Amino acid sequence: MQNQQFVPSLKTTNCYLKKIAYKERINPKRLFALLSSKKLLKDDDTWLQKHLKTIYGKKKNEKLQLELLLNKLVFEDGKYYLNTRYFSRSKYGRIYPNNLLSLSILRRDVRHFLSNEMYYDIDMVSCFQAILKSVTDMRGYNNQYLTEYIENRNDKLNELMEATGWNRDTAKTLFIAVMNTGSVAEFCKQNEVDTDVIPEFVYDYTTEVRLIGKKLQRSNVDLFDEVTSASNNKKATFISYFLQIYEQKILSTVYDFAVEKELIDNFESQIILCHDGVMIEKNLFDNTKYSVDNFIDDINKHIAKELNINIKFKVKEMGEGKKIEEQLQLQNIDYLGNYVDNFYQKYGVRRNEEIESDDTTIAKLFYSQQQDKFVLCDRVFYKITK
């Protein structure tokens, strides 16, 4: 008997994952090395993806943002963590880290540099296309070209890249843009390519996914009205939210499964939400026979069983941080040694550390900060002056 597929509705909000507190482990030595470079960080908001500028509503200088991140770190059991929570402007669809305080939101090469040694990046393959295919399979909609794209993704992307000279990210973006009712012609104009070179398959795919979008609108009238009430582009807004609701449901299912497997807990979850995937600490798999490959295989089966959605996760390489390593080496900036916490060296307590308020603790802190300024002689304190 086939499982009933998850169906979005007005009740499928994004509140669940916003209620949870998350912990992100960060290597402060690497973060400090980045901040020590005068060449690697951007002094404007060009590091931030365009849609995120809309979400956060104001410009974010990259260096200042990373300084804030460093200053928010909490020391615990010999490691540094960032406490993270998520918010959204809508009760549907994607959620975002408060104040941009998360590894997930960083520029890709910066995120890879800070994360690669400690995290697995577990990604949904062709996330929105795979979700849409599962939905259309269940509803009996024609999805010939959508299926062809998923089954021959690399070939289709390579064909488009060869025809246009675009890189892989740009080619992938076009296939997503037209799902959100974007124009092939406008996309080509923005990326300085003549529409005549675009393969015929792209136009067939575009026609098909737009027809699917219209059918989904007609069969989800209440949801359409709710999520598009303040939108000037209702068709694009609807399909975006529709797919994001599925995405959030999948992430919630992954989160619950990780809790069930005792990889994380509900109090301080060591998992990072990345829209179409998660980042999870490598060391959570160190002391168990349960490997990350076992985890991914089980996730794929679990989502198929619980949601009746055929989507595949995989570990994505985080190799773009090597470019930053090379630049730091050229600048003779150390990113491999032990981290010296200047705040701790100066004050005897770590930034954001909770301390006891008893007299003994306060006296020790006073002594650690003032021992070079006073001397005790015959039970009399003398202040040392130059």
pLDDT-based confidence at 366, cuts 50/70/90? low
Closest CA to 258 of 245, 246, 271, 247: 271
The tens digit of pLDDT for each residue in 160-201 reads 999 999 999 999 999 999 999 999 999 999 999 999 999 999
Q: In the prediction, which pLDDT does 116 show? A: 95
89-98, 216-225, 324-333, 357-366: which has the minimum mean pLDDT?
Answer: 357-366
Mean pLDDT of 190-218: 97
E-strand ranges in the chain read: 22-25, 74-76, 79-84, 86-87, 96-97, 119-124, 271-273, 277-281, 313-316, 374-377, 380-383
Task: Using alpha carbons, list the distances in angstroms from residue 336 to 27, 29, 41, 103.
Answer: 10, 7, 19, 19
Average pLDDT, the chain: 90
**What pTM was computed for the model?**
0.89
With tokens 């080509």, the residue in question is 188
C-alpha angle with apex 27: 22 to 31, nearest 5 degrees? 105
**C-alpha torsion sign, points 18, 19, 20, 23:** positive
- Return the pLDDT at 1: 46
Task: Determine the 3-state secondary structure of 318 from DSSP.
Answer: coil
Whether residue 212 is predicted with pLDDT greater than 90 in this model: the reply is yes
More confident residue, 369 or 88: 88
DSSP 195-250: GGGS-HHHHHHHHHHHHHHHHHHHH-HHHHHHHTTT-SSHHHHHHHHHHHHHHHHH
Q: What pLDDT is recorded for position 348? A: 76
Q: What are the pLDDT digits (tens) for 236-287? A: 999 999 999 999 999 999 999 999 999 998 767 789 999 899 999 999 887 7
Integer CA distances (angstroms), 276 to 96, 130, 244, in order: 12, 11, 9
Would you say residue 2 has pLDDT above 70? no
Residue 58 one-letter amino acid: K
* pLDDT tens, position by position, 293-317: 999 999 999 999 999 999 999 999 9
The percent of residues in the chain predicted with pLDDT above 70, rounded, is 93
Segment 82-125, tens digit of pLDDT: 999 999 999 999 999 999 899 999 999 999 999 999 999 999 99
Q: Measure the CA–CA gap between 39 and 327, rounded to whole angstroms.
A: 9
